[in-house]
Structure 1
Amino acid sequence: MPDRKSMIKRLVDYYEEVLSMPHRTEIARELRDEDDLFLLLLYSDMLGIPNPAFYYTLELYPYIIDKYHDWHLRMGMEKSPLEGIRCC
C-alpha cells in the first residue's frame, strides 16, 4: 500500500492540474505578453525609448537572443527590426 505522503502529493498535483486545465491558453498568453514586455524594456533604447537600466540589461543579451528571434518571427518580421542585433 502506498504511503500516505505520496498519495496526498499525487492528489494535490491532480487537483492543481484540474484547476489549471481550462486556463492553459490564458496562462500561455499571459506568459507570452510578459515576455514581450520584457523584450520591449530590454531593447527599448535601441527603439528610441529611453531606458535608465540599459547599462544593466546589456549583459542579458546573449541569453535572450533566441527568445528575441522567436519574438520577431511571431510578430511577422522576417529579419530583425533592430540594426544592432543580427539573429538571423
Structure 2
Amino acid sequence: MKLIHKFVAFSKGLDEYYASSYRGVLAKSQKEIDDFFMIITFSEMMGIPNPYELYTLELLPELMPKFHVWHQKVGLNESPFENFPCTCC
C-alpha cells in the first residue's frame, strides 16, 4: 500500500513541475473561457440568439450567484438586463 501512495505523490509532483511554468497562461485561458460561457448563457437576455438555449436555461439558477461578480468584472456597475436584475444591485 505504501508503494501506491509513493507513486501517487510522485505523479502529483510531476504534474506540479510541468504545469508550474504554464500556470499563468492556463489561468488566463480559463478566465476567457468562463467569460465566454457567461456571455453564451445570458445571451438570450441580451437579444442575441442562443443556439444552446435548451442547455443553458437549466444553468441559470446555478450561475446566478456568479453573475454579480461577472458583470462587475466586465465593467458593468449594474446588471445590463432590465427584466433580469442582479440580486446585489
Same-fold status (TM-score > 0.5): yes
Aligned residues: CA RMSD:
1.7
Matched, 1:80 2:84: no
Q: Which residue of 2 aligns with 1:54?
A: 53
Aligned equivalents of 1:49 and 1:28: distance in 2?
A: 28
Match in the other structure for 2:11:
12
Aligned length: 87
Counterpart amino acid of residue 3 in structure 1: K
Indicate how the Cα distance of structure 1 residues 45 and 10 shifts in structure 2: closer, same or farther if over 3 A, else same: same
SS at match of 2:51: coil
Range that drifts further, 47-56 or 78-87: 47-56
Runs of 4+ in 1 over 2 A off after TM superposition: 52-59
CA deviation digits over 1:1-35, x for unaligned, max 9? x8211111111101101111121121111111111
**Identical amino acids, percent of aligned pairs:** 33
Q: 2:23 is matched by which residue type in structure 1?
A: R
Moved more, 54-63 or 17-26: 54-63
* 1:55 Cα deviation after fit: 4.0
SS at structure 2 position matched to 1:71? helix
Gaps of 5+ in 2: none
1:58 offset after TM fit, Å? 2.2
Alpha-carbon distance in 2 for matches of 1:52, 1:29: 26
